[in-house]
Structure 1
Amino acid sequence: MSELLSKASFQGTVAMLLANPDREAGLEKQERDDLMLRFEGPEGDCHGGLTRKSDVRMIKQFKRGTEVRNARQLSILSEEELAEVAAKMGIQAVKPEWVGANIVTRGIPDLTLLPPSTRLQFPSGAMITIDIENLPCRYPADIIKSHNPDQKLGFVAAARNKRGVVGWVEAEGLIRSGDPITVWIPPQRIYAHG
């Protein structure tokens, strides 16, 4: 597949890195200077692991709790889209730590609309494969609301097509805040038999 990927005409930058080793502590994550990506996911983050238990997102395919491949090792959002969501909500900011981000990018246009199988490559050789859009849900909505009780629009409505993407580690390596991101786009076509 990788020989079919095309290098994007733009390059992004790592604006922020975050992790949280304790799932019980909640969705909020803490900023870090670097993040080691292993095949199991980002070191020191509770969403890592080669596998995970299926949840409500997969209820049509699997009984809840079925062990499945973890294609949600990382949550990737963009500074630009977070600012757009905050503006729609009528608040100053939607902070990445409130919405469970691991990587916040700068300079990748319409990050949330990147097609599945897009690759994000970093100077160390680390590479992430994008699985799918991360749909907005109530967990970050509750956190945002707790910080902004006077918001004008809810997160789920404001973040539609702006919530970022999830993915998994395809090649290991260290990523640092400020690193350039090379974007590799797969061939795009419409499947008309859905």
Structure 2
Amino acid sequence: MTRHLLDSVVIHPGRRLAAELAATLTTLDPDGIETTAVAELALALDGATGERHAGFTRPAGAREPWHRRGTEIRSGRQLSVVSTEELWEIGHAMGLPPIEAGWIGANLVISGVPRLSFLPMGTRLFLEGGAVIVVEGQNAPCRIAGRAIARHTERPGDELSFPKIAKRLRGLVATVERAGRACPGPVTIALPEQWIY
């Protein structure tokens, strides 16, 4: 009986992709969303050293409606990962040049991965500086990032249009699995086996 049930499941094998880490960014203002380009990031097991999202836990917010707001939960958003291709696509849809990664609080900018935002949970990114990060899920676009874009473009409507346009293009949230450095250079992306339940 077990074999019959497994026969109806399509399992896609794991595979590897080659990509580039194009830029690393960090928060200079602990109260702001925007990030600034730096030569490299030191990644510890609790995230990027000095970064506002660093930590093993965080308070639950609007994205976790199954917990009371403010409840301490495991952090799955130590890092924000975006792609040059999706930043271009968002900007194009908004009638702008590519969106700047720092405007929306990105930490890592990856180049050369089609549909980066659709990399599945459990995907590992092996960085040249020895760090390994694990994808926790898609990063939902929000009005706070839209507000930052509107401030730079001087187009107030961008605050509301960004969350709609950037849905499923906003990149990923990730955690650090192995400490090391994140600096521009080659990245190996290891996708796990995948199936739909």
The letter of the residue matching 1:174 is R
1:64-79 superposed matches below 5 A: 64-79=69-84
Aligned counterpart, 1:143 = 148
CA positional deviation for 1:171? 0.4
**Structure 2: how far apart are the matches of 1:93 and 1:182?**
25
Report the alpha carbon displacement of residue 59 of structure 1 after superposing the two structures with TM. Answer: 1.8
Q: Does 1:132 align with 2:132?
A: no
Task: Report whether the alignment pairs 1:169 with 2:176.
Answer: yes
Q: Secondary structure at the match of 1:17?
A: strand
Equivalence for 2:33: 27
Q: Residues 28-177 of structure 1: matches in 2 within 5 Å?
A: 28-60=34-66, 62-150=67-155, 154-177=161-184
RMSD over equivalenced CA pairs, Å? 1.7
| 1:21 Cα deviation after fit | 4.8
| 2:38 alignment partner AA | R
For 1:124 and 1:42, locate their aligned partners in 2 and report how far apart those are by CA, in whole Å: 13
Deviation of the 1:31 alpha carbon: 0.6
The alignment's TM-score, normalised by the length of structure 1, stands at 0.89
Q: Which has the larger radius of gyration?
A: 2
In the alignment, structure 1 residue 6 sits paired with structure 2 residue 14? yes
- Structure 2 counterpart of 1:181: 187
Q: Which runs of 4+ in 1 moved over 6 A?
A: none
CA distance in 2, matches of 1:89, 1:151: 12
In 2, the alpha carbon distance for the partners of 1:13 and 1:43 equals 22
Q: TM-score, normalised by structure 2?
A: 0.88
Instruction: State whether residues 90 and 152 of structure 1, in contact with CA within 8 Å, keep that contact through their aligned partners in structure 2.
Output: no
Question: C-alpha offsets along residues 100-132 of structure 1, whole Å, 9 cap, x if unaligned?
Answer: 000001011110000111000112321000000
For 1:2-47, what per-residue CA distance to the aligned partner results, in whole angstroms no more than 9, with x for missing partners? xxx8342x311111100115431x1011110111110010112111
Identical columns (%): 36
1:129–1:169 CA contact under 8 A, matched in 2:
yes
**Gap runs ≥5 in structure 2:** 1-12
